Amino acid sequence: MIDQITELVRLEVADGIGTIRLDRPKMNALSVQLQDEIAIVAQQAAEDPEVHAVVVYGGERVFAAGADIKEMQQMSYADMIARASKLQSCLTAIAQIPKPTVAAITGYALGGGCELALACDFRVVADNAKLGQPEILLGVIPGAGGTQRLPRLIGTAKAKDLIFSGRHVDAAEALEIGLADEVVPAEEVYTKAVERMTQYVGGPAIALRAAKESIDRGVEVDLTTGLEIERIAFAGLFATEDRQLGMDSFVENGPGKAKFVGR
């Protein structure tokens, strides 16, 4: 892995958990620089063999309050045509990390911040958090995956409600509609997110990767194609050392006792 210097985003690794930490005071607005650095650090987390699972975290005060509107205000149509694919790709880099991921959400996760959370596998949300896609109030629509990932997560009608109105939802409603997986006191958000990821440390890394890819690719296609994606991934795991270790351990010691090596 080749490290690239980043100023606003960093990867912190401890006990098998990689934390992608946003640090652009005051509100972690997703400037062009922050977007580019998210992509860089996501690749680092994907490639680092010491990272088994990932927490995306904006800090105790705020997750990410959206795009840098002052920066966007000055952009022309030609500017955004050149930039839009990079805006999407920085969050796609998070979605494509081949390991379990969770967004640890405090404060606001709005606009691009909500889209960043949507790119993760799970979302642990503070009880005082606010989430939403308010882009319509600026005369635009979500441009970093919101119109695609949000309806896939919570359903078309609920996604249209949030995107058409631009309204914020609180933690309780986010949990009710499936936008949040867990709501906890604000001071416990990061700890709970790490706890959620700890179960994957030392797990069968190749099988976890195959499961994530099969699910993520499968929801984009018809059932027949999805089953073929699953079949190929399932059969391929029989070439791994972890598969042999897991089955040998099951036969000899019963379920849940295998020690995997990630190969």
Residues annotated as catalytic (active site), given as ranges: 67, 112, 115, 135
Could you please report the per-residue DSSP string of 103-165? Answer: EEE-SEEETHHHHHHHTSSEEEEETT-EEE-GGGGGT----SSHHHHHHHHH-HHHHHHHHHH
Contact (CB, 8 A) for 90 and 112: no
Q: How far apart are CA 199 and CA 202, in angstroms?
A: 8
Cβ 179 vs Cβ 129: under 8 Å: no
- With 0-12 / 13-18 / 19 or more C-beta atoms within 10 angstroms meaning exposed / middle / buried, residue 25 is exposed
Closest CA to 180 of 201, 137, 189, 217: 189
- The residues facing 19 across adjacent strands are 12, 55
Count the alpha carbons within 13 Å of 57 in the hemisphere toward its beta carbon.
25
Report residue 138 CA to chain centroid gap: 25
Instruction: Give the whole-angstrom CA distance, residue 81 versus residue 195.
Output: 40
- Which among 200, 234, 244, 219 has a CA at the least distance from the CA of 97? 200
Residue 177 token pair: 């509609």
